[in-house]
Every structure is written in structure tokens, then in C-alpha cells.
Amino acid sequence: MMSFDLTVFQSSQYSNNPSIQSLVSSAKNDDLSAICELAHLVYEGEDASRDYTIAADLWEYAAQKGNYTALLGLADCYFTGNGRPEDEARAFKMFSQVYNDHPEMLHALCQIGRMYVHAWGVPRDITKGLEVLNRAWKAGHSRAATEIGCTYLYNLERTVENVVTAIKWFQRASDMGDPKGCYQLGSIYFNGDYGAQKSNSLAFNLLMKGRHYSDALSLLLTSECCEVGTKEDVNSVVEEAIRRAQYGDADLQSDVGYAYAKGKSLPHDVAQAELWYRLAVKNGNAHAAFRLGSSYLYGFDGFEKNIKNALEYLTYAAEHGQAYAMSTLGDLYDDLYDHDFYEIPYSDAKELALHWWSAAADAGESGCASKAASQYERDGKLDLALKYYLIAAKEEYTSCYMPIARMYLYGRGCKPDYKAAVEYFSKAVMDSAGAFYKGEVEFHYGEMYENGWGYPQDYDQAVKHYSAAAEAGYAEAKDALSHFKKGFFGWKKI
């Protein structure tokens, strides 16, 4: 008999549902299939309030009894961190056990392939991951086709060939009815991404087909059915989105809030937007926290500006991995230096700005890398300055080329690297702002020839470059030239 409590299913939302009560009755008699169905209901939160912990408890009980459907569900809990502590290595072992004993369970095989692609619980091996996903697809698993497409689009070099391949796989997945595949292809058509011709009608049909996938339903909601759906379509999407949001889907809660904020599919209502955003944050949605924090900060969509609320929600979002929130916080603290009203001491604001710029850069917001680098350089933390300048330069923030070149030339934050210095000096003068740096670059080349840095010492070449720098208006070049005198066999130092 059951060793855990099923009283949660006695609440009004369940007690009036005959099918759920039938499952509860069977579960009380140790029917493992019924237990798994109940777990799926509360995990997905479509016809019942979402509760990951209850789902995990139910699956764990059934798995201990030898039910492999339950073990598969429990593996998903450890994989996502929903209802159980996130443990990717443990999840990988559980998926492998399920597939090895029950090769017809293709979801397990698909998850194994994804984990190889993303290095989740196992070392990254994209080739092996694609091979595993292909096996799952050939066996009829539609989600595997979507994941192959995602691998080509997001995990391999962004070439035309790989983008075309990705779209072909999304088409296969959508043809097989995979909701995520429908979303991926639908969003490409809606946005006109990757060279695809924008088509709201194609996007609408795909997203409606894949609306079981929350992201597809969200895009339909926030785009008013891609601006081509009928009023009945919009009402149907709104009804489904709110129902699933009420059952605990935090992503949809955030997007219902956004729809109210923007007046998309729902009437503009700041109070309702705030309510749904807060509910989504309560359920762990960092993007909702970013939206709410930004609304308080800038007064978006009719929100009243509130700096303290903005800091609270932006900090929550940033601490939960939202790179945009990290970037916004860095800029906000940078702006708070001269505002005593906010009761943030200058030193604290400065440190917090630098902290969040660095975190944002590490999370992929390369625009913050340049800001962090400049501050680290001013603070004398030259190794960190060089690190973040290089991150920014990699993403073609061209203003970082000269600082990098100077640091390599003089060994600031690193050992002198004259080859790298020349590389970045060359990039700087080739940039659209290169004329501004021409005099300084010529001066540094003069230094290199004068001192034998990276080139054989050659005073004639040194004077040539110093002269070019002086002609370009670089003041220090005139002083450098004053230390040379023309001799019978060329220039010499005096």
C-alpha cells in the first residue's frame, strides 16, 4: 500500500474531476501506472496545479517498485532540478539505465544525446550526441529531430550550411508533430531569422500546432496570434495561457504579465501585469524579475518608477543568471554615484557596478566587458583589465584594440608580447576610427624600433615612425625626435 500522503488530491480543484479521483483511487491500491499518471499531471501542471516535489515523490515510490516510466520521470527531476536537487551525472545514469533495459523508451535516448551535446553530466561530445539523437529520430522520436536542429543552430559554427541543416531538421520535427520543433520553426518565420522570409501566417499555423509547448503558447499570446489570428483564436490562446499559468507554469505567468503590460491579447492593466510578474518571480522565474525590475526602473508600460523595487527584482534576476539584469545593474550602480537619495555609498556603488559588469561579461554580455576592463585598469588591476578587454575585442568592440595593444607592449597585466601588440595596433588603425589613433600607433612603432622591442633595433626606422607620429599631431613624438641626431651613417641617439 502507499507509504505517502495523497491528501493533496482532495482539494477542490481535484475532487470535482472524476478522472483524477479514479486515478487516486487506483493509486491507493498501489497501481503504479495510476501513480505515474498522477505524477505526470502535477509535474506538467496542465490539468492540475504544478507541484514538482509531489511528482518526484510519486515517481520515486513507483521507481523503487521497479516501474521504468517512473524512473524516467524521476531522472527528468534530477536533470532539471525540479522536485529534486539538480544532479546531471545522476540523471545521465538513470536515463542510461532506462534505455538499456527498455530501448523502446526513446525519451531516455534523446536525453542522453542532448547531454553529450551540452556536457550535462558527461564530457562534451557533439559527434556522439548527434549520433545518439539520430538513432532516436530514426526510431520515431520527433523531439530528437528538434534537438538535432538545435545542435546545428546553437552548438556548431554559425555557417549557412549549418543553419540550413537546422531548419530542415525543424521542418522534419514539425511534420512529425513535435511541439518544440513547431515553435523553433514558427519563431524563425515570425521573426524572419537566419535569412528566412518573414511569414506571420506560416508562423501562426506552426505555433498553433505546437501550442502544447509553453514557448509556442507564449509567443502566440504576446504577439496576438502573430497578428493574423481571429478574435476567437486570440481568446482561445488567452484562455489556455491563463489556465496553465494558474496551474503554476511560471514562464506563462511571466508572459501573461507581459501581455497585460503591453496590452497584447489582453487589455493594458498595470496592476494585473504586476500581479502576474510577482507570481512568476515567486515561482522562480528570473526573466519575470528582470521584466518587473526594468519596469520599476524605467517606468515602462505605465509602471510607477521605484528604484528600491527595481534593485530588488533586478538583483534577484541577476543572481539567478539573467545576463541582461547583470548588465542593467552594473549601469544602474554606475549611475548611482552622485545620488545621495538612494543611500548607497560611492565605494559600494562602484564595487557593485564592477561586480555586475564582470558577471554580465562572463555570462556572455560582451558589451559589459569593455566597461569592466576600463574600471579594472583605473583600479590598477591590470590582469583583470586585460582579460575583459580581450573578451570585448573578441566580439569586435573595436575601442578595446588600443588598450590591449598598449598592455601587450608595456607588459601591463601580462608579460610583454610584441607580436600581439602589433596585431592589435594594426586592428586599431584599420578600424573606422583608425585615423584618430594613427599618430599614437606610429609613436609606439617608433618606440619598438628604438628599443628593439619585437624588431631589430633600428634608429632610422624609429625616426621614420616618430616623424609620422609628429606629422599626425601626436605631441610626445616631438620630444622623442629631439633625442636623435642625423649622422653621416644615419640617425643616432644623443
Instruction: Pick the last residue of a domain from 359, 394, 413.
Output: 359
One domain, residues 303 and 351:
yes
Q: Give 25-34 pLDDT, tens digit per residue.
A: 999 899 999 9
Based on the fold, state whether residues 270 and 299 are members of the same structural domain. Answer: no
Q: Does residue 201 lie in a domain region?
A: no
> What is the pLDDT, as a whole number, of residue 142?
98
Residues 280 and 296 in one domain: no
Structurally, the chain folds into a number of domains equal to: 2
What's the pTM? 0.84
Q: Of the residues 309, 338, 359, which one is the last residue of a structural domain?
A: 359
Kindly indicate the confidence band of residue 1, based on its pLDDT and cuts at 50, 70 and 90.
very low
pLDDT of residue 48: 67
DSSP secondary structure of 463-490 = HHHHHHHHHTT-HHHHHHHTTEEEETTE
Quickly list DSSP for 274-341.
Answer: HHHHHHHHHTT-HHHHHHHHHHHHHTGGGPPP-HHHHHHHHHHHHHTT-HHHHHHHHHHHHHTTT-GG
- Note down the domain range covering 346: 285-359
Mean pLDDT of 313-337: 93
Q: Is residue 336 part of a domain?
A: yes
Looking at the domain assignment, is residue 216 inside a domain?
A: yes
Percent of the chain with pLDDT over 90: 84
Tell me the per-residue pLDDT of 401-446, one tens digit each, with 9 for 90 and over: 999 999 999 999 999 999 999 999 999 998 877 788 999 999 999 9
User: Among the residues of 16-125, which ranges form H helices?
Assistant: 18-28, 32-44, 52-64, 68-80, 88-101, 106-118
Q: Does any domain span residue 245?
A: yes
In a domain, 203, yes or no: no
Same domain for 277 and 320: no
The set of residues, in sequence order, having a beta carbon less than 8 Å from that of 111 and lying 6+ positions away, is 75, 76, 79, 91, 95
Which of 337, 359, 381 is a domain's end point? 359
